[in-house]
Amino acid sequence: MPLTLRLALRDWDYMTPLVLGDVSSPKLDIRVDRVGTLISHVGKSDAYDAAETSFSRYTQMRIDGDESVIGIPNFIMRGFRHRCVITTKDSPITSFAQLAGKRIGVTGWRDSGNTWTRAALRREGVGVEDAMWYAGRLTEAHPITDRLDGFGRPGRIEAAPGERPMVELLKEGLLDAIFTPFMPDGYFAGNSGFRQLLPDFRAAEHRYFADVGYVPGMHLIGFKAEFVAEHPWVMAELSALIDESQRVWLSKRRKYADTTPFMLDELLKSAAELPEDWDASGFAANRKMIADFAGELHVQGILPRLLTPEELFPFDVDGSRTSAA
């Protein structure tokens, strides 16, 4: 009888074959719960055995000595961050360097994606101390919550004024830019009034990839440690299924590219401009990226000390121990 695995995931397109059962395993009965908000701590959840997990919050667990969650280096969400900075169409700002001294909105201070985006700015000479930061909700539809997460500093990192939606503050000129991986409703309309801050963000991302050699990872797969202790093979099995789901989806997307005009051109460019293994899972393939992320968390004041990749991931995707663990 297959083992039941309760798994929480966001609606990433390449998980569709797994969710539909087109990719499956005789060893696992995977019951996927499609969630809009990440499970904050799968180790404390009664509903799930594994979940898509924030890379940043996972590192906090590790530095706190919380071993109730075992993260594996299968990064289910990756993405370049240069495209994730938006401004108004009439803004004179066209480079990250021009954000020095400006007012920047973020949807969560310690979020993994925002950490990577601040890292991209830091490469252009704009560090945390070089701008004024506001944390808040992107639009009226988003909830009012604590997005500072204990990192607020008057005069440097504050809550958005009046908890107002940041798109409104941007429109009114009270913010100069916003970090967001998810474009707000209406953004793609010609009259939205917004644009990506970098006119050619794709070229910037090419330069970034040439320099660092990876596409940043934001979310990983986290397991309940007690579940893994009872079923040590489960990490390798699920990781392999996720990788297979990605392969199957890419094949289908290439076949049915006509669903979105110009998608075929984008797929051809991605295949030509990125190495085939750009999204490879596993510790060795991602060690440099993991080390760089840990370094950014430390430099940006989110972690009190620098963690090694082996401290963050004592286990590889196949369940084996990493070399220094």
Domain-by-domain residue ranges, the chain?
1-77+215-310, 83-210
The continuous run of DSSP H or E covering 105 comes out as strand 103-106
Calculate mean pLDDT across residues 213-227: 98
pLDDT at 191: 87
Instruction: Work out the percent of the chain whose per-residue pLDDT is above 70.
Output: 99
313 vs 303: CA distance, rounded Å: 16
pLDDT at 288: 98
Task: Count how many Cα atoms sit within 13 Å of the Cα of residue 147 in the half-sphere of its side chain.
Answer: 27
Q: Tens of pLDDT along 229-282? A: 999 999 999 999 999 999 999 999 999 999 999 999 999 999 999 999 999 999
248 vs 254: CA distance, rounded Å: 10
Q: Is 272 helix (H, G, I), strand (E, B) or coil?
A: helix
N-term to C-term CA, the chain: 33
Q: pTM of the predicted model, to two decimals?
A: 0.95
CATH topology agreement for domains 1-77+215-310 and 83-210? yes
Q: Is 244 helix (H, G, I), strand (E, B) or coil?
A: helix
Query: DSSP states of 11-59 as a string?
Result: --GGGHHHHHTSS-BTTEEEEEEE-SS--S-GGG-SS-SEEEEEHHHHH
Q: Tens of pLDDT along 185-206? A: 899 988 899 999 999 999 999 9
Instruction: Work out the percent of the chain whose per-residue pLDDT is above 90.
Output: 96
Does the pLDDT value for residue 324 go beyond 90?
no
Q: Tens of pLDDT along 98-107? A: 999 999 999 9
**Element counts in the chain: helices (H) and strands (E):** 10, 11
pLDDT at 325: 47
312 vs 325: CA distance, rounded Å: 9
Q: Tens of pLDDT along 172-189? A: 999 999 999 999 989 998
Residue 235 structure tokens: 């990490």
Mean pLDDT of all residues in the chain? 96
Q: Which residues pair with 224 in a beta bridge?
A: 69
Task: Write down the CATH number for the domain with range 1-77+215-310.
Answer: 3.40.190.10
32 vs 12: CA distance, rounded Å: 12
Q: Tens of pLDDT along 14-56? A: 999 999 999 999 999 999 999 999 999 999 999 999 999 999 9
The CATH number of domain 83-210, selected from 3.50.50.60, 3.40.190.10, 3.40.50.300, 1.20.1440.230: 3.40.190.10
